[in-house]
Each structure stands twice: as C-alpha cells, then as structure tokens.
C-alpha cells in the first residue's frame, strides 16, 4: 500500500492509498476532488473507497464529484455521522475493520472534535515496519483538534486510544498546523529539549514549504502537550493535577493562542 500526500485548500491534506498490484486506490478525507482525480489519472488507478473520518466539509467536499467518476466506490464513515457525509454507504463503529490492498485497518471511535469522529489504524505488515494512523482532526502533529461537538472527557479518552498505539506508527493528520502547534507547546513545556529541537526542524521544513506530515507517534508522545496531560511539567504549567482538567486548560489556552 503506497501512500501519497495531496495538499488541498489552504492547509488540508488528502491521503491517496494505492495498490499498484491491483491498480486500485482509496482516498482518506478528500477535501476536494480535482487533485485526487489528477493523481488517479497519473496512476491510471480505479478508486474503490473513500474513507472519511468526520463530516466537516473540508474532509468530505470531494465525495460527490469523485462518486460521479467512480460510481462503484464505497464511502465509509462513522455510524453516528449518518446523514452528514455525502454518499456514505458504510457506517462504522469502534472495533470494526476495513480492508484495502490486502491490508486491514481497525476503526477507532475518537469523539471530541466532533461527536462522530473515527480514525483508521493499519497495523504494520511485518515486524519493524510502521503502522499507519489516519486520524483526521483528532490528533495533529504537535496538537489536537478543537472541541466543537465534544468535551474534554471524550477527547482525553480518544487521545488515550491513539497514545496507546505502537511508537512506530506514522500519524497522517489532515492539516498543516505543526509550526503553530509547536510554538504554543513551547509556552507550556519550555524545558523540553526534544520539543525545542523539533521546533527548529519544523521551522526549517516549513521555510521550504515542505510538509511536516506524517509525524511519528513516538515523537508525539514526547513533544505534543495534548498527549502529555499526566506529565508534572504540563500540570504545573496549568496549575492542575487532574488529567482531564489539565487537558481542558491546555486546550483552552491553545484556543486563545
């Protein structure tokens, strides 16, 4: 399974999954159709699946046009997003599994950003290889999504699920927010030397207009404040020693940053 990152809109990323043996493709969160159609034409690949993480228009905006070109493609999304995702045919819940390119992904129910948000986790094919996490707007490189339909209890539970995945997991999040996320992170975790180094690296990458996605989950666990609500330095920064309250205060500070 080959993964191509496709920039879209102002700061979105679409992910095209390609099986070169069968010459079929799937797409994760197509914000718009045109760049996906262009890439499919280059590959001469047939689109068979659309994997949506949630209903926001910058994640499903390309569904309808893609279905006009590939009428047999199946549209996947969370069961609780019924009626909110264009063309949805498959309604997924926690623990369900989806298949593509002889790979199988576990569906994780991760509400918080929205009430129906899901993520897709493809386990590594072999020992030593990476897993692939398509997490939409739940987890970002250096950050997490705003709580638009959910609450801090839900989001801590959702991020705990993602944090429990193996370190060698690539995080394919749907927006290029990394630089600003790390700028905020430094305000609450300024003694974190790895965070400082990561910020310098990301600043250099973005100065060349290159993508910072995917990131590695092991790096997120050590530098992303929204996965570190149980760390004394973060708790001290927000004057809370209760995990959910610590997270909620961090999220509130980031909302005002």
> Of the residues 86, 113, 117, 189, which is catalytic?
113
Q: Is 86 a catalytic residue?
A: no
Pairing of strands 46-51, 103-109: unpaired
- Is 175 noted as a catalytic residue in this protein? yes
Residue 137 among the catalytic residues: yes
Contact between residue 15 and residue 172 where contact means Cβ atoms under 8 Å apart: yes
> Active-site residue among 19, 58, 81, 189?
58
Contact 31, 9 (CB under 8 A): yes
Q: Return the H-helix or E-strand segment holding 7.
A: strand 2-8
Nearest to 48 by CA among 76, 16, 23, 24: 24
Q: Which helix (H) or strand (E) holds 98?
A: strand 97-100
**Active-site hit among 18, 19, 29, 54:** 54
Whether 113 is a known active-site residue: answer: yes
| Active-site pick, 19, 29, 55, 59 | 59
Q: Which of 18, 55, 86, 175 is catalytic?
A: 175
Quick check: is 69 catalytic? no
Output DSSP code: residue 175: B
Give the N- to C-terminal CA distance of the chain in Å, as an integer: 38
3-state SS class at 185: helix
Residues with catalytic function: 54, 56, 58-59, 113, 137, 175
């Amino acid at each position: 399974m080959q993964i191509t990152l496709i920039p879209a809109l102002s700061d979105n990323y679409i992910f095209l999954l390609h099986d070169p043996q069968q010459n079929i493709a799937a797409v994760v969160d197509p914000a718009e159709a045109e760049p996906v159609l262009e890439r499919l034409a280059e590959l001469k690949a047939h689109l068979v699946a659309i994997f949506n993480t949630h209903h926001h228009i910058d994640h499903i905006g390309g569904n309808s046009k893609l279905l006009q070109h590939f009428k047999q493609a199946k549209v996947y999304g969370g069961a609780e997003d019924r009626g909110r995702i264009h063309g949805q045919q498959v309604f997924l819940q926690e623990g369900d599994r989806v298949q593509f390119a002889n790979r199988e992904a576990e569906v994780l129910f991760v509400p918080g950003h929205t009430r129906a948000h899901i993520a897709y986790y493809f386990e590594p094919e072999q020992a030593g290889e990476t897993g692939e996490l398509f997490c939409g707007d739940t987890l970002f490189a250096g950050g997490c999504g705003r709580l638009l339909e959910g609450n801090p209890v839900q989001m801590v539970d959702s991020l705990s699920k993602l944090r429990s995945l193996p370190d060698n997991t690539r995080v394919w999040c749907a927006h290029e927010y990394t630089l600003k996320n790390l700028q905020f992170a430094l305000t609450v975790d300024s003694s974190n030397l790895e965070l400082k180094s990561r910020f310098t690296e990301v600043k250099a990458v973005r100065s060349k207009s290159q993508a910072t996605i995917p990131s590695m989950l092991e790096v997120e666990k050590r530098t992303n404040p929204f996965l570190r609500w149980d760390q004394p330095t973060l708790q001290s920064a927000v004057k809370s020693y209760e995990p959910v309250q610590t997270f909620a205060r961090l999220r509130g500070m980031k909302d005002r940053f």
